Amino acid sequence: MNFFHKAASSLDVPEIIDWKKSGKKIVGYTCSYLPPELFYAAGVLPVRLRGVETDGLDIGDAYYGPFVCSYPKRILQLAGKGRYNFLDGAVITPGCDAMRRLDECWRKAGDDHPGILPGFFHFFDAPHKDEAHGFAWFVEEIRSLMEKIREYFGVEITEERLLEAIQLYNRGRRLLSDLEALRCNPAPPVSGADAFAAVLAGSVTPRDLYTRALEKWIAQLDSEKTDYRNRKRLMLVGSVNDDIELVRLMENDSGALVVAENLCFGVRAAGGLVAETGDPVEALARRYLGESICPRMFGKYSERLARLKETIQQHRVDGVVMQNIRFCDLHGAENALFERDLEKIGVPCLRIEREYGPLVETGRIKMRIGAFIERIQTR
């Protein structure tokens, strides 16, 4: 478990440090719509960019305006402080307006803070739709990125290597499905914080090491020896969250257990399998663009609601906590729709607006979650 928690809580991940020491390349990326398999196939470690361990926002605030989500600001803050100097490259994706502007903000900050801009800096233009022309555009974006990787890193991503990467990532996905099945049990063998850490770690550690660690850990989980019986079962959804402490806050001394998430860093993004037959690039495109898991895919609300209802049922969820980072309009609006439609069918919901980053609002959030659990208990 330490492997996962260490990787999920800090930027100083031992496995990343070892990778770098061995002379191999590392590329950071911002969004779950980028297939990290591409980099893995090129022998480059893909690391999902995060804003953990920031202690200020002077650099983030210098380039971004005040009415912008704190997530990209904190990534920029870390980059500006040199914490991402271990990266050989970065890929920015238009997850939302604020995230896509990390492209310019990072580049301009690079003019003022020499050395913080990685040599390989790419904009991966993922469309907001998956109709035929959107799909074709996305496939072209993948192929173009592969070409850029070849040019910059001097590595050819062959079909065989890409298929190997897909198979490796799929192994991890199957294991995560096993983990999710265990969390559906009336007596889950794992806390929400541990499960979330296990998923998060997959976005920053070498995939082969991660898959082995995940396999070993899941094999040890035992529903017979669980401490997590008879707790109120919560689901956490909404804006990007990579902070295990938020999950801990929901679980500690509250009588609640987080049994499911629908988050960008969670199983939502890590879940579905990539087809292992046919053209691997198209298979990746189908998986990464086609699942419409994020509100950035406008007009797919009913699909996401259906997916949410299914998870709520499978995981026997008693209540859904919906959080959005301040200025995150996409999740903020969708949370309101979810709340309307889930409350209608008797699923209690709590909407919380918060800041990304160190939990500066612990007391407020804890009080609201406490009140929410009281509400569920009186049902």
Partner 1 sequence: MRPEMREYNYDWMMGSTLKAASNLANGFPKEAALALNYIPYARGASKALMDEGDPGIQLFKLLSNYYENILLAHSRGKKLVATSFCFSPVIFFAMDIVPVCMEMMTGLGNILWKRGMSDYLDFAFEAGLPETSCSSQRGSMGAYLAGLGETIDFVLNNMAGACDTNANAFAFLSAYLNKPFYQMNSPNTIGDPRSEAYHLADYSAMIRFLEEQTGEKLDYDRLAEILAEVEIQDELITDVEEFHMLKPTPLTPLDNLILYVGRFMFSGRVEYTNVLKALYQKALPKARAGISGLRSGEEKLRVLMIYIDHYTFDFNFWKWFEENGVAHIGSQLSHHFRDTVPYAADLPGSVYSVDTSSPAAMLNTVAQMNARGPMVRSIRGPYDGPFMWLEETLTLARHFSADCAVFNGTPGCRNTWSNNKLMARDLEKAGIPTLILNDDAFDDRVENWDATRERMEEFFTIRGLL
User: Two tokens at 22?
Assistant: 């061995």
CB of 52 to partner 1, least distance (A): 21
| Site for partner 1 contains 101 (CB under 8 A) | yes
User: Which residue shows structure tokens 């305006």?
Assistant: 65
| Site for partner 1 contains 77 (CB under 8 A) | no
Considering only 8, 27, 98, 157, the residue that binds partner 1 (CB under 8 A) is 98
Q: What is the rounded (10 degree) CA torsion for 236, 240, 244, 250?
A: -30
User: Two tokens at 238?
Assistant: 């909404």
CB of 138 to partner 1, least distance (A): 11
CB of 114 to partner 1, least distance (A): 17
Binding to partner 1 in span 292-351, by CB under 8 A = 295-296, 298-299, 301-302, 324, 326-330, 332-337, 339-340
CB of 268 to partner 1, least distance (A): 19
| Site for partner 1 contains 60 (CB under 8 A) | no
Q: Residue 297 phi/psi, 5° resolution?
A: -90, 90
Instruction: Burial-class residue 317 by CB neighbours within 10 Å (0-12, 13-18, 19+).
Output: buried
For partner 1, the closer of residues 68 and 274 by Cβ is 68
Answer for the pair 233, 316: CB distance below 8 angstroms, yes or no.
Answer: yes
The number of beta carbons lying within 10 Å of the beta carbon of residue 204 is 23
Mask for 103-142, x = binds partner 1 (CB under 8 A): xxx-xx--------------x-x-xxx-xxxx--x--x--
Answer for the pair 223, 188: CB distance below 8 angstroms, yes or no.
Answer: yes
Entry field: residues in the chain: 379
| Site for partner 1 contains 58 (CB under 8 A) | no
Sheet with 319-325, edge to edge strand ranges: 256-262, 232-238, 319-325, 349-354
| Site for partner 1 contains 355 (CB under 8 A) | no
Tell me, by CB under 8 A, how many residues bind partner 1.
Answer: 52
CB of 127 to partner 1, least distance (A): 5
CB of 375 to partner 1, least distance (A): 20
CB of 151 to partner 1, least distance (A): 19
Q: Give the C-alpha separation, 204 to 169, whole Å.
A: 13
Sheet with 45-48, edge to edge strand ranges: 45-48, 26-29, 89-92, 120-123
Binding to partner 1 in span 137-196, by CB under 8 A = 137, 140
CB of 136 to partner 1, least distance (A): 8
For partner 1, the closer of residues 108 and 366 by Cβ is 108
Nearest of 357, 339, 343, 244 to residue 301 by alpha carbon: 339
Which residues of the chain form contacts with partner 1 (CB under 8 A)?
62-69, 72, 94, 96-98, 100-101, 103-105, 107-108, 123, 125, 127-129, 131-134, 137, 140, 295-296, 298-299, 301-302, 324, 326-330, 332-337, 339-340, 353
